[in-house]
Structure 1
């Protein structure tokens, strides 16, 4: 059993904390939402009254937070009480620069940092089938594998810099977002031409156009009218913004990415931050078919 601190109990963090509990670990949890804390505490976690309280005495600390800015402010709050020899694992979708800066700070306290964002969505978090994409010292990554096995099934060490994990996650989300935009446009255009939407995605899914949206988001969310993949347009917009910042840092501005970022921004303005990301189909349909 490992003593863990877990900060951030949203749609991804809550299920991950529960799976760590189910694996037999001692987990202390904190979130600004008292209801979220109570829900996990009811399943056996220790409820903390602050972020610093959550990590006091913890061997490994997990962060699952909405933005890089919140990660930075949280580290400010917990830095003084992190134990020498402990490990901070940032599961947040963040920027490589943020993660590397935090790692540099905490190295002076003898704290190791892994930038280890996850992929697989809410269903993957609930089922414990996430992909974990980690940057940082490989020995630290190996030491954390037993913990990762409680929340995921695929583990990748992508580089020695803690920010490498977040770089890969931003690139993965970029491809996923582009796939949703392009697939939506293709299906809308086909529908306008009198083609059957379901048959279109069936064909795409067994042909060279297949992607996560042809296999899941469009057939299971858009065509059913569910629109509940569990990821908000506001977060999709945030991811595109962080990707643009990362590309600028590398002096490699993305051409397709800039157009995609604008489209996501327009959709977010029209549909709202809290709309499911699959609602971008409706936005594109309104623009294309008018």
Structure 2
């Protein structure tokens, strides 16, 4: 059994906590939304904490937060005795499982190392359904073999595929690149369906053939049928967070001097969709809704 403090109980964090408790770990939970924290604790068997600094006995501190800025804010100033990071005892492993920027992850690792703490980046892929089933793909960035061995059983409680990617920051880089490729596949699939629909092909027929052919990808196989053709618009991942991740990938490409025109074009479409939809929190699949309006087509056959 590992004692874990888990901070961040959103769409992904809540089911991940359930998997940790089911695996026999003792889990303290915290979220800025105290009611959400209590609900997750009641439903999972975890322990609600009103202040994450009180769980100083935790061996592992897991952060499942939206971005690097929020991670840095949650950890607090390393010079402040009242900060979360200063409440951790030496040897604690801090696991950033959100989609943070690789450069910020590296800086946070240096700051924590000075306090005797180890930062491991371990972002996930798979969405809330796979999180609930314990079938996430988890990428792990650390060069420390001992730390990896210590944190591996915890990660295996939440994921069916745990892959070490290299030194700290490498996992966050790979996660951003994976999400960029995912957006390319989604936008590409929707554009192809737009052309075919305008021509007179039936969207579901096209999708069925594509998914038995060489053009298939994760979006055509998993997302477009149940969420776009039905107008459910509920992949379960906000478009705004999607764009945050892919902009991280674009920045990484720029820092390495790599020109990526196809990627940039796909991200531009996704950004146009977010700007045009006008809803408070559009789903990633609603890129399809935007393309319907832009191109004068309907994917639901009406």
Equivalent residue number for residue 292 of structure 2: 285
What is the root-mean-square deviation in Å for CA atoms of aligned residues?
A: 1.4
- 2:262 & 2:182 partners in 1: Cα distance? 13
Q: Compute the displacement of 1:23 (Å).
A: 1.1
- 1:165 & 1:6 partners in 2: Cα distance? 19
Equivalent residue number for residue 144 of structure 1: 151
Q: State how 1:1-290 maps to structure 2 within 5 Å.
A: 1-42=1-42, 43-53=44-54, 55-76=55-76, 77-136=83-142, 137-159=144-166, 161-271=167-277, 272=279, 274-289=281-296
Query: What SS class does the counterpart of residue 180 from structure 2 fall into?
Result: helix
Q: Compute the displacement of 1:89 (Å).
A: 0.7
- 1:65 & 1:172 partners in 2: Cα distance? 18
Cα deviation per residue 1:136-168 (whole Å; 9 max; x = unaligned)? Answer: 023322221211121110010010x21000011
- 1:253 & 1:64 partners in 2: Cα distance? 31
Query: What SS class does the counterpart of residue 9 from structure 2 fall into?
Result: coil
* Structure 2, unaligned runs of 5 or more: 77-82, 298-302
- 2:121 & 2:25 partners in 1: Cα distance? 21
CA contact 1:232–1:273 (8 Å) conserved in 2 = no
CA contact 1:30–1:48 (8 Å) conserved in 2 = yes
- 1:251 & 1:265 partners in 2: Cα distance? 23
- 2:146 & 2:216 partners in 1: Cα distance? 37
Cα deviation per residue 1:172-224 (whole Å; 9 max; x = unaligned)? Answer: 00111110000001111111111111111111112111101110111111112
- 1:201 & 1:131 partners in 2: Cα distance? 26
Deviates more, 1:19-28 or 1:3-12: 19-28
CA contact 2:177–2:246 (8 Å) conserved in 1 = no
- 1:253 & 1:21 partners in 2: Cα distance? 45
- 1:58 & 1:244 partners in 2: Cα distance? 36
Aligned positions, number:
288
* Structure 1, unaligned runs of 5 or more: none
CA contact 1:233–1:273 (8 Å) conserved in 2 = no
Cα deviation per residue 1:67-125 (whole Å; 9 max; x = unaligned)? Answer: 11001111113111111011011100111111111111111111111111000011111
TM-score for both structures, normalised by structure 1: 0.95
Deviates more, 1:177-186 or 1:41-50: 41-50
Query: What SS class does the counterpart of residue 235 from structure 1 fall into?
Result: helix
Query: What SS class does the counterpart of residue 74 from structure 1 fall into?
Result: helix
Query: What SS class does the counterpart of residue 225 from structure 1 fall into?
Result: coil
- 1:167 & 1:287 partners in 2: Cα distance? 33
